[in-house]
Amino acid sequence: MRESGRMVIREPLVNENMPLSWRKETKPHRFCPGCGHGIALKALGEVVDELGILDQVLYGCDIGCSLLSWDFFNFDSIQTHHGRTIPVIVGAKRARPETVGIAYMGDGGGYAIGAQHLVNAAQRGEQITAILANNTLYAMTGGQMAPTTLPGQKTGTSPYGREVTKTGLPLQGPELVAAIAPEGSYVARATVGEYQQLKKYLKKALDNQIAGRGFSFVEVLSTCPTNWRTNAKQTWAFLQGEMARHFKVGEFRAAETIPAGEER
C-alpha cells in the first residue's frame, strides 16, 4: 500500500535502467505523468552513482511538487519548508563539511519566497549544490503565476496572461546567480529536453562542491502538463520552443571561464 493513499494498481516497477541510488521500493514515483521532475531526479541519481557519493549525500527537498521526492532516493533526505531548503543544507554542510549537500527546489521556492537564501548562499560561496526545477508556475498549489511565468502565459493568478508591465518579465535565475557568485562557483541552466547535457551539468555541479571550489547552481527547465493543460506534443513544444526562447540553456559560470549564456 502506498503512503499516498492512492490505490495500488501495479507492483513497483523494478527496472534494470534505474540508478542504484534510486529507492526502488518507492517507484513508480509520485509525480504526474509527463512531469519533468522524474527526469531531473533520474539524472541526479545516475550522477550520484557515477561519483560514488551515496553515503555522503544529504538531500533536502522544498515544499511544492519537489516535496514528493523525499523518499525517492537511497540517500538520507529531509523535507523542509517552502523556500527554506538552502539554509537547512547550508547549516548541515557548515556543521559537517564532508557532507555533499543537495538542495532541490522549484522556481517559487528558489526565486520568490526563498530568493534571499539563494542570493546570500551564492554570494557567500556556500559549498552546496542547489538544483532548481523551472516549470514556469507554482504546480503543487494549482498553477499560479511564478517569477518565471512567461509573458502572456495564463495561470491561476494571471488568468488573462502575464502582463509584463504589471508583473515583470520572467526572472533569469542562473544569470542572477552568476552575476553575484564568487570565483569558483558553478552556474548552469539545463533542460529535461537534453538529458545528456543535464547529466553533465549536474555532475559538474556536484564535482564543484566535492572539489571545494564553491557554490553550485543548476536551473533545470522542466514540464508541467497538468497545470499547463497540455498534451504530450504541446508539452514538448512549450519546453523546447517558448521556454527555450526565454531561458538560455548553457553554463554561466564554471571552473574554466565561459562567456555568459554560451551554449556548450
Which stretches of the chain bind other proteins, using CB under 8 A? 3-5, 21, 23, 54-55, 58, 60, 63, 67, 70-71, 73-81, 84, 87-97, 99, 116-117, 119-120
DSSP summary character for residue 26:
G
Query: Directed axis angle between helix 115-124 and helix 173-180, to 10°?
Result: 40
Indicate the residue among 90 and 202 with the shorter CB distance to other proteins. 90
Nearest-approach distance from CB 255 to other proteins, in angstroms: 22
Nearest-approach distance from CB 199 to other proteins, in angstroms: 21
Residue owning grid cell 504530450: 232
**147 phi/psi in degrees, rounded to 5:** -60, -20
Give the closest residue to 28 by CA, choosing from 47, 44, 6, 58: 6
Helices (H), 100-243: 107-108, 115-124, 164-167, 173-180, 195-210, 225-228, 232-237
Indicate the residue among 75 and 138 with the shorter CB distance to other proteins. 75
Q: Which set of grid coordinates corresponds to residue 15?
A: 527496472
Nearest-approach distance from CB 15 to other proteins, in angstroms: 17
Indicate the residue among 3 and 256 with the shorter CB distance to other proteins. 3
Nearest-approach distance from CB 163 to other proteins, in angstroms: 31
